[in-house]
Structure 1
Amino acid sequence: MSRAAPPAGVRRSWGTEEDGASILHVDMDAFFASVELVRRPDLRGRPVVVGGDGRSVVLAATYEARAYGVHSAMPMAQALRRCPHAVVLPPDHTAYRAASAAVMEILRDVTALVEQVSVDEAFLDVSGARRRLGPPTAIAALVRERVRSRLSLPCSVGIGGTKFVAKLASGFAKPDGVLLVPRAATVEFLHSLPVGALWGVGDRTREALARWGITTVAELAATDVAVVQRAVGRASGAHLHDLAWGRDPRPVVPERQEKSIGAETTFEQDTADLRVLEGHLLRLADRCSTQLRDRGLVARTVSLKVRTEDFSTLSRSRTLPVSTDVGRELYLAARDLLAGTDLGGRRVRLVGVRAEGLAEAGARQLTLEEAVDDASDARRRAEQAMDEVRHRFGARAVRAATLTAAPPAVSTTAPGSGDLS
């Protein structure tokens, strides 16, 4: 899920030897936008942007929009200046989650060794599937054909000897392609890249390395590891030096435990109106609880995020007496946290709610008080009924009555969402 396009001028072919290259990275192309095009085929070939209005950010853009310099995480206002004729569609995270689940089901039909790392990407270890399905390039072609024929969605696949190399390769395979990096070509491939291509090198790390004259992976690899550690820190320096030489021993882990589920909203206008803030907290708590129930999880901790007009970010959290997946309970905790937050007279630009301390719903332990709390159980049943309606008719089909009075969200980052590829 790279925000930027791969560096220009890098070779697109590194050989055909597939022994030792059994890690696949499957990355959906412009995932949110592609899902929208399945529902709106009349928009194919046009610049389409998924996101909100005002001060929200781009969640996804078709490649026609990217030709104008539009990319994910770009402020929407800037995107529309670059491409004023773009078609802007509001996000439908229910549809994206359903499409994601269908993609992952296809991948798990290929191999049990699937590690989903976001809503639109996953690693596969196909070493055990080769006898049944053929070499990795044949498996990659099979994956792409099944995703295309069953879901009408494009994806790109990178193939390498390690997770890191496979992920890089999928970026170069975009859009809608496959790239194999043979194990013997790993170092040559890596050393052709700028240092910013390495996993974990953001703007700050890249600038820190540049101050030591390190701008390419080849230069990083040729630099003594102690020097790299002085530039970026002991742990990061050693890790980056290993990556520069293709050393990445991490296996594909089929089960990836989620640590939190959250959602946040940026307002079109900064506000100090407590009613407006609480209305958005209710909406966000509802979205989080829906995600918890969809994934069979409960949360023990609720966190509140508030960003004020001067871009200061305040965070507060509360541990609940018992884990929950009920939106009303998440909301009440978030509302109390907001009431206890000193804003110093500043208006609020963004609020977010996050459910943490996740566990399987089946492991949930009831307190004596909760065991006899019919109201809590009734709320859960009511919210589950709303889940069913939303799954059948879309995210906007039904919501709590209180939410109908809440101002509409401008920009919402849904739980587990992301479409930066």
Structure 2
Amino acid sequence: MDAFYASVEQLDNPELRGKPVAVGGSEVRGVVSAASYEARKFGVKSAMSGVLAKKKCPHLIFVKPRYARYKEISSKIREIFYDYTDLVEPLSLDEAYLDVTENKKGNPSASLIAQEIRDRIWEELELRASAGISINKFIAKVASDINKPNGQKTIKPNEVLDFLEELPVGKFYGVGKVTAAKMHNHGIFNGLDLKNRTLEDLVSLFGKSGKHYYNIVRGIHNSEVKPDRVRKSIAAERTFNENLSSEIYMLKKLELIAEELERRMMHSKTKGKTVTLKIKYSDFTQQTRSKTVGNYLQKKEEFYPLIKDLLMQDHLKNSVRLLGISLSNLDTEKKDPIWVQLQFEF
């Protein structure tokens, strides 16, 4: 979906249409969750502080996020997907992979299917979407960004290798700014440069990721579309209007965050064994502290004492702007069967 959160806000509030909108954040605190394309023209991006976003775009309009509404719209979009295939792997509320090799419409053209899906999303929901179409998930993901917003790009099988050779390494999905800079320092600027490196060379430079880069630049990515993707963690967090420096105040805030996490755990009917405390400091550095227990946890009274211990286990480096709690190692994750030898009488 194109600027999904911001587009939903503009859909529901006509006064916001055509104007620069930031979902989340504020002029004083917080972080932008999503920005409309009108705001992006000024350099406003997701994960940017609200203060910086306002400096870049003085007439920026901040809107509080409404995740229940985004989830409602996302469900309707997925229903459209399921009209074409059951092989749908959601990545988030606004993005998914679809395997249409065999599809319910019997349409042999993935490009035409993508166009039809995008048309239906606009006709039924008045929202714009973009698509990437190719032989595997990696290339389709890269292609989906090429003609955004409201466009699509098909990379045909015989075009894959040429496309990847010309692609700047910063455009490779999964290659962030730090990795791209490291590649540049070693003379790797595009796919062809990457392809000219040996497997041993890439592994020595990038560790396990080196093998991944070696394969993807050759169009090799064998990950299937997995419709039964399992959620790995559930979290709740809060950014504060003023930085906190007292552990006493932090514990009060953490208690409220723990109550919210309990509600989410109960709603999802999920339990977890690993508790993680997330701390973001005033200088934007981040720290996590975790503890795994032998039993599953769901309620605040079960995991909040662990959070108190994690907060107090070490000195804080600076004043704190954000605190979060998550539960992972969930009981929804698939586990290997445990085989028990039974006793029989003969």
TM band (smaller chain): 0.7 to 0.9
Select 2:323's aligned residue among 346, 351, 368.
351
Is the alpha carbon distance of 1:230 and 1:336 closer, same or farther for their aligned partners in structure 2, counting shifts above 3 Å? closer
The one-letter amino acid paired with 2:20 is P
Q: Which moved more, 1:105-114 or 1:80-89?
A: 105-114
Rounded to whole Å, the distance in 2 between the matches of 1:122 and 1:255 is 12
The one-letter amino acid paired with 2:230 is Q
Alignment deviations for residues 21-55 of structure 1 (CA, whole Å, 9 cap, x no partner): xxxxxxx1111111111211221111111112224
**Contact kept in structure 1, 2:231 and 2:332, CA below 8 Å:** no
Rounded to whole Å, the distance in 2 between the matches of 1:286 and 1:110 is 40
**Contact kept in structure 1, 2:230 and 2:332, CA below 8 Å:** no
Q: How far is 1:176 from its partner? A: 1.2
Match of 2:325, SS state, is strand
Is the alpha carbon distance of 1:169 and 1:297 closer, same or farther for their aligned partners in structure 2, counting shifts above 3 Å? same
Q: State yes or no: 1:147 paired with 2:118.
A: no
1:262 is matched with which residue?
235
Pairing of 1:106-255 with structure 2 (within 5 A): 106-129=80-103, 132-233=106-207, 235-255=208-228
Match of 2:83, SS state, is helix
Rounded to whole Å, the distance in 2 between the matches of 1:47 and 1:226 is 47
Q: State yes or no: 1:285 paired with 2:258.
A: yes
Match of 2:90, SS state, is strand
**Contact kept in structure 1, 2:29 and 2:241, CA below 8 Å:** yes
1:6 is matched with which residue?
none
- When the two structures are superposed, what TM-score results if normalisation uses the length of structure 1? 0.73
1:84 is matched with which residue?
58
Rounded to whole Å, the distance in 1 between the matches of 2:285 and 2:48 is 20
- When the two structures are superposed, what TM-score results if normalisation uses the length of structure 2? 0.87
**Contact kept in structure 2, 1:209 and 1:232, CA below 8 Å:** no
The one-letter amino acid paired with 2:96 is A
**Contact kept in structure 2, 1:286 and 1:328, CA below 8 Å:** no
The one-letter amino acid paired with 1:178 is Q
Rounded to whole Å, the distance in 2 between the matches of 1:173 and 1:296 is 40
Rounded to whole Å, the distance in 1 between the matches of 2:101 and 2:321 is 49
Q: How far is 1:279 from its partner? A: 3.2
Alignment deviations for residues 341-383 of structure 1 (CA, whole Å, 9 cap, x no partner): 332585323211011121249x9xxxxxxxxxxxxxxxxxxxx
2:339 is matched with which residue?
none
Q: Identity, % of aligned pairs?
A: 36
Rounded to whole Å, the distance in 2 between the matches of 1:131 and 1:50 is 37
Rounded to whole Å, the distance in 2 between the matches of 1:159 and 1:303 is 38
Q: How far is 1:217 from its partner? A: 1.1
Match of 1:116, SS state, is strand
Match of 1:173, SS state, is coil
2:343 is matched with which residue?
none
Is the alpha carbon distance of 1:101 and 1:332 closer, same or farther for their aligned partners in structure 2, counting shifts above 3 Å? farther
Q: How far is 1:301 from its partner? A: 2.7
Rounded to whole Å, the distance in 2 between the matches of 1:327 and 1:67 is 43
Unaligned runs of 5+ in 2: 336-346
The one-letter amino acid paired with 1:67 is K
Q: Which runs of 4+ in 1 moved over 6 A?
A: none
Q: State yes or no: 1:49 paired with 2:33.
A: no
Match of 2:280, SS state, is strand
Unaligned runs of 5+ in 1: 1-27, 364-421
Alignment deviations for residues 169-226 of structure 1 (CA, whole Å, 9 cap, x no partner): 1101210112111111011111221111223322222222222211111111123333
Is the alpha carbon distance of 1:316 and 1:227 closer, same or farther for their aligned partners in structure 2, counting shifts above 3 Å? closer
Rounded to whole Å, the distance in 1 between the matches of 2:260 and 2:78 is 22
Q: How far is 1:264 from its partner? A: 2.3
Rounded to whole Å, the distance in 1 between the matches of 2:30 and 2:157 is 42
Give me the CA root mean square deviation: 2.4
1:401 is matched with which residue?
none
Q: How far is 1:278 from its partner? A: 2.6
Rounded to whole Å, the distance in 2 between the matches of 1:206 and 1:346 is 30
Match of 1:247, SS state, is coil
Is the alpha carbon distance of 1:189 and 1:311 closer, same or farther for their aligned partners in structure 2, counting shifts above 3 Å? closer
